[in-house]
Amino acid sequence: MNKTIEKIVSLCKQRGFVYQSSDIYGGFGAVYDYGPLGVELKNNIANYWWKEMTRNHENIVGLDSGILMHPKIWEASGHIGEFHDPLVDCKQCKSRYRADELTENLENEEWDKFKCPKCGTTGKMTPPRQFNLMFKTEVGALEDSGSTAYLRPETAQGIYVNYKLVQGSTRMKIPFGIAQIGKAFRNEIIARNFIFRTREFEQMEMQYFTKPGDDDKAMEEWKEKRIKFYTNILGVASENLRFHKHEKNELAHYAKEAWDIEYNFPFGWSEVEGIHNRTDFDLKNHENHSGKNLKYFDQENNERYLPYIIETSAGLNRMLLTVLADSYWEDTENSRIVMKLDPKIAPIKAVVCPLVKKDGLPEKARLIVDTLKPHFNVLYDQQGSIGKRYYRQDEAGTPYGVTIDHQTMDDGTVTIRYRDTQKQDRASLENVLNIIQSSLL
Ligand code: ATP
């Protein structure tokens, strides 16, 4: 099977997972909208992440900070000074590239002898130039330099500047973590590969505050926990996942050690999540810029210190692309496309179909929908042949079909159909409920 990004994009549009932004105006660069199935899938992924972080860890709590924050935060964090990509342009064909993606030898590359990967012209490449990736905006009525604010390029800083307040309200002892899900914005110059790199996206970040010296152990723990999330919760095939360690020259300005979880996308292995040891870089800088003491007081040992921070930083949209790519399956034997989404995250858990549109079957099917819908998302469908209805839901990733026929009217049993195998069993409604519910745990 030739799994291409184009096929996934097309299915996403057709079925209502993801649309390009502002479609009727011809689109808007590197922004995407999530349709009826996409928003359910995105919410499910985010909810499982949230549950995994907060409910499953007594020492991790949540936060929801603003997108707009005091502009000094971005000076302190280094984003105003450092947050940019080096770009090169081909003067011949006008293509633009991230210089670090064209060469591993950024510093010493001879750009005037470089061959453009697109048009093949040599000697037309500009030297790298830096572009700041933060979106600027004006706050208040007056447009002067004092009114400039930024749309946050990461959610992490909102956690750092609130960490003392959170610790004060919860009395948590180190090690503890703060989790947040929210929008982030980066004016990416090169946006490609569908929702992989966009200008507006969502991050799911957890910042884990440790005692300096315990940071390496925490890094190991979080690497293991995070990769398991992809296989055990999202159902991603483990052979399509790997770790990539950042070498010294790849490390971000704040990091002591960094690992990426990479997925084998149709366009190659690429980062989905970063796990970084940010040391006390951010808290130290916020102390300096705000003049506030951000040290943690360890009562037991009567000592004060700035914690080290291990961050797990995932893009919700990239995670969604990961599960879409991983679950896309062309079942050539049966001429159908199936999104083999794990039932836990599938947008719709079951389609409920009356076999025919008469003899009281639709009414009965509606009653069954009413029984199931308090438990999970179900869809009622009476449109078209039963086979067509099933195939439509295979493309939507719906793991179960529940069909109501004449026998249902006699003994209350229904047919349950399994998406991947197309196997069908006769079962009581209670059994169906149990089967579906147990697949969601
Ligand atoms: P990249 O090298 O791909 O630009 P990054 O190393 O800058 O990513 P981080 O700053 O570590 O990424 O952000 C953490 C996570 O946020 C990434 O692993 C990714 O999942 C997500 N992310 C970052 N930038 C984007 C973007 N422009 N669009 C979608 N997701 C993004």
Quick check: helix, strand or coil at residue 85?
strand
- pLDDT above 70: residue 166: yes
Nearest CA to ligand 1 atom 26: 197
Q: How many CB atoms lie within 10 A of CB 37?
A: 22
Quick check: helix, strand or coil at residue 262?
strand
Query: What's the maximum distance between 2 C-alpha atoms anywhere in the chain?
Result: 81
Share above pLDDT 90 across residues of the chain, in percent, rounded to a whole number:
84
Q: How many CB atoms lie within 10 A of CB 116?
A: 21
Q: Which two tokens stand for residue 102?
A: 């064209």
Among 56-60, 106-110, 243-247, the least confident range: 106-110
Q: Report phi then psi at 343, rounded to 5.
A: -50, -35
When pLDDT is averaged across residues 184-192 and rounded to a whole number, the result is 85
Residues for the chain: how many in total? 441
The model's pLDDT over 198-209, given as tens digits with 9 standing for 90+, comes to 999 999 999 999
First to last CA, the chain: 31
Asked if 59 and 172 count as a contact pair (C-beta separation under 8 A), the reply is yes
Asked if 286 and 294 count as a contact pair (C-beta separation under 8 A), the reply is yes
Cα(315) to ligand 1 centroid in Å equals 6
In Å, how far from its chain's centre is CA 24?
Answer: 26
Asked if 8 and 326 count as a contact pair (C-beta separation under 8 A), the reply is no
Nearest CA to ligand 1 atom 14: 313
Quick check: helix, strand or coil at residue 437?
helix
Cα(188) to ligand 1 centroid in Å equals 10
- pLDDT above 80: residue 189: no
pLDDT of residue 145: 66
Among 176-180, 246-250, 350-354, the least confident range: 246-250
When pLDDT is averaged across residues 240-260 and rounded to a whole number, the result is 90
**In a mutational test of the pocket of ligand 1, which residue from 21, 226, 313, 320 has the highest number of ligand atoms less than 8 Å from its CB?**
313
Cα(203) to ligand 1 centroid in Å equals 8
**In a mutational test of the pocket of ligand 1, which residue from 197, 241, 276, 277 has the highest number of ligand atoms less than 8 Å from its CB?**
197
Residue 261 alpha carbon, nearest atom of ligand 1: 18
Q: Which two tokens stand for residue 417?
A: 């159909």
CATH match for 3-83+133-326 among 3.30.1300.10, 3.60.70.12, 3.30.43.10, 3.30.930.10: 3.30.930.10
The residues spanned by each domain of the chain are 3-83+133-326, 88-99+101-132, 348-438
Quick check: helix, strand or coil at residue 434?
helix
- pLDDT above 90: residue 241: yes
Q: What is the DSSP letter of 425?
A: E
Angle at 380 between CA 377 and CA 385, to 5 degrees: 135
Residue 85 alpha carbon, nearest atom of ligand 1: 4
Residue 188 alpha carbon, nearest atom of ligand 1: 27
**In a mutational test of the pocket of ligand 1, which residue from 79, 206, 263, 271 has the highest number of ligand atoms less than 8 Å from its CB?**
271
Cα(198) to ligand 1 centroid in Å equals 9
Share above pLDDT 70 across residues of the chain, in percent, rounded to a whole number:
99
Angle at 317 between CA 339 and CA 225, to 5 degrees: 90
Cα(119) to ligand 1 centroid in Å equals 28
Pocket of ligand 1 (CB under 6 A): 154, 186, 188, 197-198, 201, 203, 271-274, 313-315, 317-318
pLDDT of residue 95: 85
- pLDDT above 80: residue 409: yes
Cα(153) to ligand 1 centroid in Å equals 10
How far apart, in whole angstroms, are the C-alpha atoms of residue 308 and residue 285? 13
CA nearest neighbour of 15 among 378, 372, 348, 266: 348
Q: How many CB atoms lie within 10 A of CB 275?
A: 24
How far apart, in whole angstroms, are the C-alpha atoms of residue 338 and residue 350? 15
Which residues on adjacent β-strands are paired with residue 121? Answer: none
- pLDDT above 90: residue 2: no
The model's pLDDT over 84-98, given as tens digits with 9 standing for 90+, comes to 778 888 988 888 888
Q: Scanning the structure block, which residue is given the tokens 């049966």?
A: 334
When pLDDT is averaged across residues 425-437 and rounded to a whole number, the result is 97
pLDDT of residue 84: 76
- pLDDT above 80: residue 257: yes
Q: Which two tokens stand for residue 72?
A: 């000094």
AA identity, residue 203: Q
Asked if 188 and 197 count as a contact pair (C-beta separation under 8 A), the reply is yes
Q: Which two tokens stand for residue 430?
A: 């209670």
Nearest CA to ligand 1 atom 10: 154
How crowded is the C-beta side of 80, counted as CA atoms within 13 Å?
Answer: 11
Residue 392 pLDDT grade (very low, low, confident, very high; cuts 50, 70, 90): very high
When pLDDT is averaged across residues 408-413 and rounded to a whole number, the result is 97
Residue 82 pLDDT grade (very low, low, confident, very high; cuts 50, 70, 90): confident
Residue 100 pLDDT grade (very low, low, confident, very high; cuts 50, 70, 90): confident
The model's pLDDT over 275-328, given as tens digits with 9 standing for 90+, comes to 999 999 999 999 999 999 999 999 999 999 999 999 999 999 999 999 999 999
When pLDDT is averaged across residues 1-19 and rounded to a whole number, the result is 95
Cα(145) to ligand 1 centroid in Å equals 29
Cα(273) to ligand 1 centroid in Å equals 7
- Which residues, 6 or more positions from 431, have their beta carbon under 8 angstroms from its beta carbon? 416
Q: Which two tokens stand for residue 245?
A: 């360690």
Asked if 148 and 183 count as a contact pair (C-beta separation under 8 A), the reply is no
Cα(47) to ligand 1 centroid in Å equals 20
The model's pLDDT over 28-67, given as tens digits with 9 standing for 90+, comes to 999 999 999 999 999 999 999 999 999 999 999 999 999 9
pLDDT of residue 1: 75
**In a mutational test of the pocket of ligand 1, which residue from 132, 201, 253, 270 has the highest number of ligand atoms less than 8 Å from its CB?**
201
pLDDT of residue 188: 86
Helix crossing, 36-50 with 316-327: angle to 10°? 110
Cα(439) to ligand 1 centroid in Å equals 31
Q: Is 148 left (phi over 0), alpha (psi -120 to 50) or beta?
A: beta
Nearest CA to ligand 1 atom 8: 271
Q: Which two tokens stand for residue 440?
A: 């969601």
Q: Scanning the structure block, which residue is given the tokens 């009562």?
A: 299
- pLDDT above 80: residue 106: no
pLDDT of residue 219: 98
How far apart, in whole angstroms, are the C-alpha atoms of residue 199 and residue 265? 20
Nearest CA to ligand 1 atom 19: 315
Mean pLDDT of the chain: 95
Residue 198 alpha carbon, nearest atom of ligand 1: 28
pLDDT of residue 248: 84
How far apart, in whole angstroms, are the C-alpha atoms of residue 378 and residue 35? 17
Quick check: helix, strand or coil at residue 227?
helix
How far apart, in whole angstroms, are the C-alpha atoms of residue 151 and residue 140? 15
Whether the upstream peptide bond of residue 374 has omega within 30° of 0, thus cis, is: no
pTM of the shown model:
0.92
CATH class belonging to 348-438: alpha beta
